[in-house]
Amino acid sequence: MFRRQFLVGTVALTLPTSSLAVSPAAAQSMVEDLVDDVNAVIASGASEQAMIDQFGQILNRYADVPTIARYCLGVDARRATASQMAQYTDAFQDYIASKYGRRFREFVGGEVRVVGSEAVKSWVEVETTVLLRGRSPLQMDWHVSNRSGRNAFFNFIIEGVNMLLTEREEIGAMLDRRRGSIDALISDMKAV
Amino acid sequence: MLTKLGLNLRYPFVFLGFFSVVTACTPAPDGVTVFDPYEEQNRQVHEFNKSVFNSFFGSGGSDTEIPPEIADTVVNFADNISMPGMALNGLLQGNFEAALTNAARFVVNTTFGIGGIADLATELGLEEQETDFGETLAIWGVPEGAYLELPILGPSTERAFAGRIVDSLIDPLDEVGFAFQSDYSLAATIAKRIVRGSQLSGTIDSVLSESADSYAQQRLIYLQNRRFELGTTPEEEAVDPYDELFGDP
């Protein structure tokens, strides 16, 4: 507890007030709320489907899903119609909630803790550690920005594995498999 | 052949193999995250590995959980006998603190940890400083080389694979450990892989069976994670999706 306050304090003192839109302290405080919600889901011992639903709500509250979705579609986002984009973004949100929500089951008995935060480029990186039962802890970094108009995370990195980069490749592969059809991609994503 | 090289380690010809592997290392060009000139062969190995994983853990991941006490015992024993090798790599890297920590772990756990089945060292604050000769090579400036998918052993790089071979050749366990530690070292290492595979089977299975291109996903995940562990993640990998949407801030 002391360490956390100390870290926030040092960051606030050493950083000059810059054009940085989101302050490390504000970003960290957002991730602390997020982590509380995540820990509540882990501790609830709920069914897999319930965990996926709750993770979907966490994404709604804390993530900039439209930006993440658009980035993962890559250059193909430019040729998508507005209606396709809206459907794709919805499907993407469910896809992420389901894919990562299912992994939450493996976190049961563990918890996430906030370690500290620092400004990186135009955003703030908040470092957390995922403590797991009987395994080495994992480092999980959250990238927080307010360029969507509110404080929200747009990426997370688990032990160096960057969600945006990894999902951009996966969505690209899904699209290739459907010979570039965005409509087919949307229906595939709903099936995951 | 590759598994033979990986597991059967005390033959002189392996030295020749090592040098040809090292000289075959090709530096990855700047800005390219993935260097995979052997993709065709790697994909064949990937299909083989997938079928081995599925027959071991079943598609959908393992439901039968190994009891945690047994899993911990196996992992502790296998981790402990890898400490002398990690300590040696610490020395070769000039990281004396890590070398000392791993050496102390080996002494504490082999004695008070009943031959290494209990991990008292971690409770005493001596946390494992995981390393290998692949990391030593990285510190010495050897480039990562091409991506490789090895039979059974899975994702690797030319540098990491060369490191594995050297690690088995220079392992000082026979010199500093007890006979039972050397005798069970191969069995313990295999058992540890099975335990880890079972603990991670859900995650591994979701990559292997649910990805549109599981080979490419596993390659990307491995390379990012390995570079993170070695502290060599390139700065330009930090992604700013707002840049693409709105241009530079």
Owner of token pair 């982590």: A35
> Rounded to whole angstroms, what are the CA distances from B59 to B74, B153, B222?
24, 19, 21
Residue B141: inside a domain: yes
- Tokens standing for A137? 């802890």
In chain B, whose CA is at the least distance from the CA of A191?
A: B210
pLDDT > 70 in chain B, percent: 83
pTM of the full structure? 0.84
Instruction: State whether residue B156 is helix, strand or coil.
Output: strand
Residue closest to A174 by CA, chosen among B154, B216, B49: B216
Name the β-bridge partners of B148.
B156
Domain count, chain B: 1
Residue B75: inside a domain: yes
| CA pair distance B246, B249, nearest whole angstrom | 8
Mean pLDDT on B51-59: 82
Residue B121 CB contacts under 8 Å (≥ 6 apart), including other chains: B104, B105, B108, B109, B113, B127
Which pLDDT does position B236 carry in this prediction? 66
Q: Is the pLDDT of residue B15 over 80?
A: no
Q: What is the pLDDT of residues B139-194, one digit of tens each?
A: 999 999 999 999 999 999 999 999 999 999 999 999 999 999 999 999 998 999 88
Task: Indicate the residue of A122, A164, A170 with minimum beta-carbon distance to B217.
Answer: A170
| CA pair distance B129, B100, nearest whole angstrom | 10
Q: What is the pLDDT of residues A123-136, one digit of tens each?
A: 999 999 999 877 78
Residue B47: inside a domain: no
Task: Indicate the residue of A160, A164, A192 with minimum beta-carbon distance to B239.
Answer: A164
The residue of A51, A105, A153, A170 whose CB has the most chain B CBs within 10 angstroms, and thus the best one to mutate to test that interface, is A170
> Rounded to whole angstroms, what are the CA distances from B80 to A55, A114, A119, B71, B117?
38, 30, 39, 14, 8
| CA pair distance B87, B100, nearest whole angstrom | 7
Per-residue burial over B168-187, b if 16 or more Cβ lie within 10 Å, else e, is: beebebeebbeeebeebbee
The CATH homologous superfamily for domain A22-191 is Tgt2/MlaC (3.10.450.710)
Higher pLDDT, B225 or A133: B225
Mean pLDDT on B184-205: 85
- ipTM for the predicted complex comes to 0.86
Q: Report yes or no: A28 and A114 within 8 Å, Cβ to Cβ.
A: yes
Residue B241 neighbours by CB distance under 10 Å: 21
Residue B21: inside a domain: no
B229 touches chain A (CB under 8 A): yes
A70 touches chain B (CB under 8 A): yes
Boundaries of domain holding B132: 53-246
Which pLDDT does position B247 carry in this prediction? 61
Mean pLDDT on A11-38: 77
B32 touches chain A (CB under 8 A): no
Please state the domain extents for chain A.
22-191
Contact B227 A160 (CB under 8 A): yes
> Rounded to whole angstroms, what are the CA distances from A83 to A70, A156, A184, B160, B185?
13, 28, 14, 47, 59
